[in-house]
Amino acid sequence: MAVFCVEEKVAKVLKKSAVTESVSEKAFLSQAIASPVSRNMTAGYLKLEAGYAKEIVSPVDEVDLVLSGAVTCLCDGDDIVARKGDILFIEKGTRAHFSASCDCLLFMVTYPLLQETVDAMMKKRTRNDNE
C-alpha cells in the first residue's frame, strides 16, 4: 500500500501527449497519477481550448470534473452541457462528440490506465494494418 502526493504546480503541467495528439491540437493533458505510481488508474488535468471539437469512442471509463469553462457532449441524440462543478461519467466504449466553445479545464480520472490502454490500441491497429 502507498500514498502519493503530487503538488499542484507539477500536476497542472499540461502538454500534448500521444493521447491528446491523436485526439486534437486543442487538447492538453497532465497524467499526474499514472504508471508506475498507479497500476490501475490515471488521474490528471485536461485542458480543451476554445474551438475544440472531436468525436471520440472512449477506450476507458472516465470521470471528469469541470473546473472552469464548459464542455458539450452530444451522445445518442442528447446534448449535455457540463459547466464548472459538474461531473461527467463516460463509460468505456461510448461514442460521443465533445466540443468546447471556450477554454475548459477538467480534472479527469480513468480506469484502466489511459496511456497504456491507448498504446495497446495503437499497437493492435498497427499490427492489423501490417497484416
Q: What is the pLDDT of residues 44-54, one digit of tens each?
A: 999 999 999 99
Q: What is the mean pLDDT of residues 100-124?
A: 91
Is 3's pLDDT higher than 80? yes
Q: For residue 1, what pLDDT is reported? A: 65
Beta bridge partners of 66: 106
Class of CATH domain 12-130: mainly beta
Q: What is the pLDDT of residues 16-26, one digit of tens each?
A: 876 776 668 89
Q: For residue 31, what pLDDT is reported? A: 92
Q: For residue 118, what pLDDT is reported? A: 85
Is 71's pLDDT higher than 70? yes
Q: What is the pLDDT of residues 74-102, one digit of tens each?
A: 999 999 999 999 999 999 999 999 999 99
DSSP string, 58-120: -SSEEEEEEEESEEEEEETTEEEEEETT-EEEE-TT-EEEEEESS-EEEEEEEES-HHHHHHH
